[in-house]
């Protein structure tokens, strides 16, 4: 499956060249095995900018995909390229900033020392390394707390340090593995703003997260992984459209649920009806319908023609979590009504 | 620690306009970080203290020996009294002193000094292997290195550089200082007449750096934890020596069986570098210098091949 993200203004590479044509990150028919187990299966993906969320259950292949993108793993089949350069090649990493999911640091170092040491590894001289360290620590909100030893840092502070070291060299492509994990709501909001700012400045961000709600706030462009494959890529609604055969659940609050239900029973799109009450005690009808576009068009017409009193109409399965559940076969989010069919 | 706010605000987040120094500079950064971690260990400083004591023993020993030679009278002197007393010639006493310790700026001096220091270095390296390299593999710090514009060889190169700095700070540099010191004590001619010793010291130090460095990288990337590394190093440098003694001296097998002892091979090639006569080597039944050198080359190639294989497969999973 190949879906291209919107093209943003071409970012400048470190060398100053403009490379508008080649995608920032490109997976071409990439497969990766761990012995007999397949980690990533024939993934084709192209990123040109903006924020892309990568979601999937544990073992879906998210981390493998990110490690392939950062050149830490070598694909068994296919190619991963960053700005046209093989990601396995060390020179490709000048375009990449990577924040791994685990936070194993040199605990004896202070946050500042760690980030500065990382800056020196990029090849910055002492002065520039120090300036950049100060700048990125400021940016991730660690400026006043970076002289403490890493050993004493909270999970959220460690996340910020990881992000800081990824930002050091102004990378075009930021690959962040669970960057919001362990960060308090205020800090999360701050980091989301940082991510948005980076995306607006032309950076390409690939963010893996289990925090689906946060990811949805951050971007509507998600790649869903399941069993090593990219199961879907696109906006949440685009993905939902791809799943026409998969019934969505629509909650209708109406004083006459049974009357509305009887009108819907003959429709081919409607595959199930549930009656009950919402948590507020209002009468409600839960409809399971395929082909959502067709369903909503007909339902709108019906409401006008029959003069139905509809107090609330909500598609429950438009969230990433719901789509993920469909794709991965997990539980769907609660409809929030009690009752029987 | 943090800079005043104004430069930070001015700096902001901007693309780099200067020239990066390249991955070789990154190697130096890796070496610095590694040494930083090691220098924070008290155990390291304790062992470094022992190493410094050995150096000071030789340093002042050379001076004392030289000073004594100028102070002794030609006449015999009587030591003790009555039944336990004896008349000795001071010059003979000094000769005995010289023969045991060889504090005379000769090849013996540097051979002994490097031998003593190497034993301490091997203990340091066995303990440092996990800190320097093993923990990166074991705890997963590698992504931080490998996500930088560095090749895997640069990473290992940085670690090797750290090991090399450590070894040379404890062996080669003090040995060169001893050489310089003896020139001051003796005469300026010493430097010219014994230049081969200086070259030998440098080559011997480089040899120890290469062999021990590669062995440490190989064992630490393989075993990762401190205890297994210590066990393997003990096997390589202690048990193999005892076994080779047993085979060659007790079982009277061919002297080439000594080639299983890597330290002995290093010692033999070191003697070669210092142009020492094989007959002066204290342990009997030794293989030829060239045979020991060949074994070391094979060991280095094996380590190199292993590391290359590891690096091709360094996949941070």
Distance CA A112, CA A134 (A): 8
Helices (H), chain A: 62-69, 111-121, 126-139, 155-167, 185-200, 212-218, 236-242, 257-264, 292-306, 320-328
Name the pairing type of β-strands A50-56 and A204-208.
parallel
Nearest to A131 among B11, B21, B23 (CB): B11
Banded model confidence at residue B13, pLDDT cuts 50, 70, 90 = very low
Burial letters B141-172, b for 16+ CB under 10 A, else e: bbbbbbbbbbbbebbbbbbbbbbbbbbbebbb
Nearest to A135 among B11, B30, B146 (CB): B11
Task: Find the mean pLDDT for residues A150-170.
Answer: 90
Helix then strand then coil, in percent of chain A rounded to 5, is: 35, 30, 35
Helices (H), chain B: 5-11, 23-39, 42-71, 90-101, 107-129, 135-139, 142-146, 152-170, 172-185, 189-193, 195-223, 226-234, 240-245, 262-273, 289-312
- Given CB atoms, is B20 within the 8 Å cutoff of chain A? yes
pLDDT given for residue A324 in this prediction: 63
What's chain B's length in residues?
Answer: 317
Q: How many angstroms separate the CA of residue B217 from the nearest CA in chain A? A: 19
Nearest to B14 among A91, A117, A170 (CB): A170
- Residue B249 inside a domain? The answer is yes
Question: What is the span of the domain harbouring residue B30?
Answer: 24-71+105-312
- Residue B65 inside a domain? The answer is yes
B291 CB-near residues (< 8 Å, 6+ apart): B256, B259
Closest CA in chain A for residue B149: A93
Distance CA A293, CA A314 (A): 14
Interface pTM (ipTM) of the complex?
Answer: 0.76
Task: Find the mean pLDDT for residues B14-41.
Answer: 81
Q: Are B173 and B105 in contact (CB under 8 A)?
A: no
Banded model confidence at residue B2, pLDDT cuts 50, 70, 90 = very low
CB contact under 8 A, A104 and B140: yes
Task: Find the mean pLDDT for residues B74-89.
Answer: 77
- Residue B90 inside a domain? The answer is no
Instruction: For residue range A248-265, list pLDDT tens digits in order.
Output: 888 888 888 888 999 998
- Given CB atoms, is B282 within the 8 Å cutoff of chain A? no
Number of domains in chain B: 1
- Residue B14 inside a domain? The answer is no
Q: Measuring CA to CA, which residue among B305, B151, B136, B297 is closest to residue B218? A: B305
- Given CB atoms, is B99 within the 8 Å cutoff of chain A? no
Structure tokens at B22: 């390249």
- Given CB atoms, is B22 within the 8 Å cutoff of chain A? yes
Distance CA B138, CA B223 (A): 9
- Residue B208 inside a domain? The answer is yes
Helix (H, G, I), strand (E, B) or coil at A227: coil
Q: Say whether pTM exceeds 0.90.
A: no
pLDDT given for residue B64 in this prediction: 85
Top pLDDT among B254 and A244 is at B254
Chains A, B: CB contacts within 8 A come to: 137
Q: Are A153 and A187 in contact (CB under 8 A)?
A: no
- Residue B190 inside a domain? The answer is yes
pLDDT given for residue B242 in this prediction: 93
- Residue B262 inside a domain? The answer is yes
State the number of CA atoms in the 13 A half-sphere of A257 facing the CB: 22
Structure tokens at B231: 């066990």
B10 CB-near residues (< 8 Å, 6+ apart): none
Helix (H, G, I), strand (E, B) or coil at B238: helix
- Residue B16 inside a domain? The answer is no
The A residues from 176 to 205 touching B (CB cutoff 8 Å) are: 201
């Amino acid at each position: 499956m190949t879906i291209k993200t919107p093209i943003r203004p071409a970012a400048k590479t470190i060398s100053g060249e403009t490379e508008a044509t080649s995608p920032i990150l490109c997976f071409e028919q990439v497969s990766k095995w761990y012995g007999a187990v397949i980690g990533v299966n024939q993934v084709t993906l192209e990123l040109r900018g903006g924020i892309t969320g990568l979601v999937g259950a544990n073992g879906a292949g998210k981390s493998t995909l990110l490690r392939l993108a950062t050149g830490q793993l070598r694909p068994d089949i296919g190619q991963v390229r960053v700005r046209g350069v093989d990601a396995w090649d060390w020179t490709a990493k000048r375009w990449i900033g990577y924040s791994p999911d685990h936070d194993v640091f040199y605990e004896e170092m202070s946050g500042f020392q760690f980030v500065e040491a990382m800056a020196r590894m990029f090849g910055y001289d002492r002065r520039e390394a120090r300036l950049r360290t100060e700048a990125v620590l400021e940016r991730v909100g660690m400026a006043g707390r970076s002289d403490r030893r890493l050993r004493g840092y909270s999970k959220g502070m460690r996340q910020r340090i990881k992000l800081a070291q990824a930002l050091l060299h102004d990378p075009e492509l930021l690959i962040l593995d669970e960057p919001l994990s362990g960060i308090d709501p205020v800090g999360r909001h701050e980091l989301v703003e940082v991510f948005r700012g980076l995306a607006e400045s032309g950076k390409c961000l690939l963010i893996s997260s289990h925090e689906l709600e946060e990811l949805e706030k951050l971007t509507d462009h998600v790649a869903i992984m399941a069993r090593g494959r990219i199961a879907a890529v696109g906006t949440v609604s685009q993905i939902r459209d791809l799943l026409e055969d998969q019934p969505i659940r629509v909650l209708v609050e109406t004083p006459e649920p049974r009357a509305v239900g009887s009108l819907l029973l003959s429709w081919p799109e409607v595959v199930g009806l549930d009656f009950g009450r919402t948590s507020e005690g209002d009468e409600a009808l839960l409809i399971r319908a395929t082909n959502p576009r067709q369903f909503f068009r007909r339902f709108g017409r019906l409401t006008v023609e029959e003069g139905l009193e509809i107090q609330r109409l909500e598609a429950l399965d438009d969230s990433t979590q719901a789509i993920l559940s469909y794709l991965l076969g997990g539980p769907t989010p609660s409809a929030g009504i009690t009752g029987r069919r | 620690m943090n800079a005043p706010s104004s430069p930070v605000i001015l700096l902001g987040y901007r693309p780099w306009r200067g020239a990066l120094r390249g991955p070789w500079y990154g190697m130096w950064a890796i070496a610095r970080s590694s040494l930083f971690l090691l220098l924070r260990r008290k155990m390291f400083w304790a062992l470094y203290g022992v190493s410094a004591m050995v150096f000071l023993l030789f340093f002042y020993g050379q001076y004392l020996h030289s000073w004594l030679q100028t102070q002794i009278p030609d006449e015999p002197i009587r030591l003790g009294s009555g039944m336990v007393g004896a008349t000795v010639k001071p010059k003979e006493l000094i000769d005995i002193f010289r023969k045991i310790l060889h504090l005379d700026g000769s090849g013996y001096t540097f051979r002994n000094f490097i031998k003593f220091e190497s034993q301490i270095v091997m203990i340091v390296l066995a303990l440092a292997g996990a800190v320097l390299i093993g923990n990166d593999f074991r705890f997963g710090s590698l992504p931080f290195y490998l996500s930088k514009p560095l090749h895997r060889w640069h990473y290992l190169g940085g670690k090797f550089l750290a090991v090399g700095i450590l070894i040379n700070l404890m062996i080669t540099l003090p040995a060169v200082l001893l050489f310089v010191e003896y020139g001051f004590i003796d005469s300026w001619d010493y430097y010219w007449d014994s230049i081969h010793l200086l070259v030998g010291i440098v080559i011997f130090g480089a040899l120890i750096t290469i062999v021990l460095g590669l062995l440490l990288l190989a064992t630490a990337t393989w075993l990762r934890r401190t205890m297994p590394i210590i066990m393997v190093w003990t096997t390589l440098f202690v048990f193999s020596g005892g076994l080779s003694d047993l085979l060659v001296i007790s079982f009277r097998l061919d002297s080439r069986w000594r080639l299983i002892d890597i330290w002995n091979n290093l010692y033999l090639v070191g003697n070669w570098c210092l142009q020492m006569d094989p007959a002066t080597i204290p342990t009997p039944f030794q293989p030829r210098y060239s045979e020991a050198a060949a074994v070391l080359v094979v060991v280095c190639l094996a380590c190199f091949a292993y590391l290359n294989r590891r690096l091709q497969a360094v996949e941070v999973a």
